[in-house]
Amino acid sequence: MESTTNTMVNGSDLDNNNAAGGGGVVDVYGEDFATEDQLITPWTVSVASGYTLLRDPRHNKGLAFTENERDAHYLRGLLPPALMNQELQEKRLMHNLRQYKVPLQRYVAMMDLQERNERLFYKLLIDNVEELLPVVYTPTVGEACQKYGSIFRRPQGLYISLKEKGKILEVLKNWPERNIQVIVVTDGERILGLGDLGCQGMGIPVGKLSLYTALGGLRPSACLPITIDVGTNNEQLLNDEFYIGLRQKRATGQEYAELLQEFMTAVKQNYGEKVLIQFEDFANHNAFELLSKYSSSHLVFNDDIQGTASVVLAGILSALKLVGGTLADQTFLFLGAGEAGTGIAELIALEMSKQTKAPIEEALYLRRVKTDVLNLLQGLIVSSRKESLQHFKKPWAHEHAPIKSLLDAVKAIKPTMLMGTSGVGKTFTKEVVEAMASFNEKPVIFALSNPTSQSECTAEEAYTWSKGQAIFASGSPFDPVEYNGKVFVPGQGNNAYIFPGLGLGLIISGAIRVRDEMLLAASEALAAQVTQEHFDKGLIYPPFTNIRKISAHIAAKVAAKAYDLGLASRLPRPKDLVSYAESCMYSPMYRSYR
Ligand code: NAD
């Protein structure tokens, strides 16, 4: 078959279509223009037609190809005669997806769709976000990672293993897209609350980036999922014949640091200063170090530390409207002082100092007094243990007699807000929740550990054990609960509220560094989206259905902060950042091919 080409015209070329020879796929939505770093030079992309077009997920429309398109692009006979518009295709696929009773089957079906028809995949995800988020992300993605070797079909993303040492720049150049704006990278050592899944952690960057597009409007072609494979200490995987990664124990120390250094250097060399690198699900001994090592030289963000902190702080800020009082009036008790726990505590302290305008010494004092970080594995973080603590826990050491159990800690410390960030399920027992409800009119309970099996307690337990008093949010989703004739809608402190909008804000402003002030701005922007109607249902987060609007607001605040701090490189500063952010967002609607 003779193969011709379609020509896609970048948005900047819209007024000058003849440049593309009068034919092609016209970017009427503008997203390629807006989030593209090529404002001056028009560009063209050749797209094969006919059989190859049907197998190109970025341009395939399946039965939605019109009669004219079928003629013009050598599709006659390659499709059955029926025409089906995108809405009908969506309806059919949602119907099919709902037939699957096993969540992993839905996950595989969604991944297949992404491989087949990218725009339809995103249309489904955007239009059915509350239903499909748990499929493409937590909790199902956790199971998918555990079984990644068995369900592995086409590779997604880029794998960089120890075998590629010395050649990482070449590996990056193998990726077909040049204009990458966001990289999500993991080394698979701490996948959700499931531990070391080695190379099979790839499900996480893939899932996170699909949310970047669906919820934050980043173009799929600008997103690059990467897994760094330095081995795994997971014996089960090492002995699994279907395991897809390196069959060796994890490299550590200098060998690990050198590979990461090469990776970070190569990324900057290949994609420039403004590519956002999001660290995801690294074990905490590496996560804190990588973040502090690269935050002054690269645009880096750790979602487990900073994204979690920002989304939880937003929940706390809106919970205050229900509980009353100020942030500085609260006492927090954390079960689990890892990436999530200490990240949240740190951001709470920053917000407290911002609100109270307390000098830094006083803010430090406040955070020590008001914030008790507990780690039951090794005992309460008390000053007497300071020398043996990991460095990121040291700032939290404070004077306290040793406490043996969470229940004793709750009774002794009397927190107003209880935060579960240990990755260990069922630790907020009936006694713990009852104790919280005994001295708080409205105890705030965040059961943040993922996936659902690791949640500290369920929504139903929190509401029933507290006799309907609790304000509850969790990491994984729970259905609404009816208690005593009243329906309680649990909040989901899902990082997906924050990182897509934050990323969009960084990209549209051309930010070159991430600063804590941007995280605070993101939290405040999210909290501001919670209305009285939501509060009336007990919600402390806005519904996910509005997520693209929420992301645009977060992006605008983050971008504004980047401009204020002198860290934005895209000038001039747009006047209305919310509408600018909205105008930049990817749309999954099919384009017309001529
Ligand atoms: P991490 O490994 O850095 O930290 C976990 C901490 O808990 C460690 O310090 C560990 O020593 C401690 N711990 C383990 N068992 C404990 C026990 N029985 N009692 C007390 N402490 C214990 O992991 P992380 O990144 O902080 O993530 C923790 C959990 O939070 C995971 O389940 C993760 O999925 C979840 N998480 C949720 C969100 C969210 O919902 N928005 C975001 C990030 C992380």
Residue 4 has pLDDT above 70, yes or no: no
| Domain boundaries along the sequence of the chain | 89-298, 313-496
- Closest atom, ligand 1, to C-alpha of 390: 9
| Topology agreement, domain 89-298 and domain 313-496 | yes
548 half-sphere exposure, CB direction, 13 A CA radius: 19
Q: How confident is the model at residue 46 (pLDDT cuts 50, 70, 90)?
A: low
309-325, pLDDT tens digit by residue? Answer: 999 999 999 999 999 99
pLDDT, position 145 = 87
- Nearest Cα neighbor of 421 from 495, 499, 485, 370 is 495
Percent of the chain with pLDDT over 70: 85
- Concerning whether 101 is annotated as a catalytic residue, the answer is no
282-303, pLDDT tens digit by residue? Answer: 998 999 999 999 999 999 999 9
Once rounded to an integer, what is the mean pLDDT over residues 566-576?
A: 95
User: Contact, 577 vs 566, CB < 8 A?
Assistant: no
Establish whether residue 304 lines the binding site of ligand 1, counting it when its CB lies within 6 angstroms of any ligand atom: yes
75-108, pLDDT tens digit by residue? Answer: 999 999 999 999 999 999 999 999 999 999 999 9
User: Contact, 385 vs 287, CB < 8 A?
Assistant: no
Residue with CA closest to ligand 1 atom 36: 449
Q: What does the mean pLDDT of the chain come to?
A: 87
CB-count exposure of residue 22 (10 Å: 0-12, 13-18, 19+): exposed
- Closest atom, ligand 1, to C-alpha of 420: 30
- The preferred substitution site among 302, 450, 472, 476 for testing ligand 1, maximizing ligand atoms within 8 Å of CB, is 450
Q: How far is the CA of 336 from the centre of ligand 1 (A)?
A: 5
What radius of gyration do the chain's Cα atoms show? 24
Query: Among 24-28, 138-142, 527-531, which is the least confidently predicted range?
Result: 24-28
Query: Among 8-17, 307-316, 555-564, which is the least confidently predicted range?
Result: 8-17
Establish whether residue 376 lines the binding site of ligand 1, counting it when its CB lies within 6 angstroms of any ligand atom: yes
Instruction: Point out the catalytic residue in the list 208, 393, 557, 561.
Output: 208
User: Is this prediction's pTM over 0.85?
Assistant: yes
- State the Cα–Cα distance between residues 572 and 547, nearest whole angstrom: 27
pLDDT, position 458 = 97
- State the Cα–Cα distance between residues 335 and 367, nearest whole angstrom: 16
195-250, pLDDT tens digit by residue? Answer: 999 999 999 999 999 999 999 999 999 999 999 999 999 999 999 999 999 999 99
511-558, pLDDT tens digit by residue? Answer: 999 999 999 999 999 999 999 999 988 889 998 889 999 999 999 999
Residue 329 has pLDDT above 60, yes or no: yes
User: Contact, 541 vs 573, CB < 8 A?
Assistant: no
Q: Strand 481-483 vs strand 486-488: parallel, antiparallel, or unpaired?
A: antiparallel
164-186, pLDDT tens digit by residue? Answer: 999 999 999 999 999 999 999 99
pLDDT, position 8 = 37
- Closest atom, ligand 1, to C-alpha of 287: 3
Which helix H or strand E contains 206, and what residues bound it? helix 203-216
pLDDT, position 386 = 61
Residue 191 has pLDDT above 70, yes or no: yes
- State the Cα–Cα distance between residues 295 and 224, nearest whole angstrom: 20
3-state secondary structure of 77: coil
- Concerning whether 137 is annotated as a catalytic residue, the answer is yes
Residue with CA closest to ligand 1 atom 15: 422
Q: How confident is the model at residue 354 (pLDDT cuts 50, 70, 90)?
A: confident
Top mean pLDDT of 67-71, 343-347, 387-391 is at 67-71
| DSSP code at position 62 | G
User: Contact, 36 vs 10, CB < 8 A?
Assistant: yes
Establish whether residue 574 lines the binding site of ligand 1, counting it when its CB lies within 6 angstroms of any ligand atom: no
User: Contact, 227 vs 187, CB < 8 A?
Assistant: yes
- State the Cα–Cα distance between residues 482 and 460, nearest whole angstrom: 8
Establish whether residue 450 lines the binding site of ligand 1, counting it when its CB lies within 6 angstroms of any ligand atom: yes
| DSSP code at position 305 | I
3-state secondary structure of 91: helix
Percent of the chain with pLDDT over 90: 69
Give CATH superfamily name and number for 313-496. Answer: NAD(P)-binding Rossmann-like Domain (3.40.50.720)
CB-count exposure of residue 80 (10 Å: 0-12, 13-18, 19+): exposed
pLDDT, position 544 = 87
User: Contact, 314 vs 527, CB < 8 A?
Assistant: yes
146-159, pLDDT tens digit by residue? Answer: 888 787 778 889 99
Q: Does domain 89-298 have CATH number 3.40.50.10380?
A: yes
Q: Tokens for 157?
A: 């993303």
Q: How far is the CA of 346 from the centre of ligand 1 (A)?
A: 15
pLDDT, position 387 = 66
Q: Which residue has the higher pLDDT, 127 or 47?
A: 127
pLDDT, position 570 = 93
Q: How far is the CA of 144 from the centre of ligand 1 (A)?
A: 20
Q: How far is the CA of 284 from the centre of ligand 1 (A)?
A: 9
- Residue type at 442 in one-letter notation: K
Once rounded to an integer, what is the mean pLDDT over residues 13-27?
A: 34
- State the Cα–Cα distance between residues 552 and 505, nearest whole angstrom: 8
- Residue type at 217 in one-letter notation: G
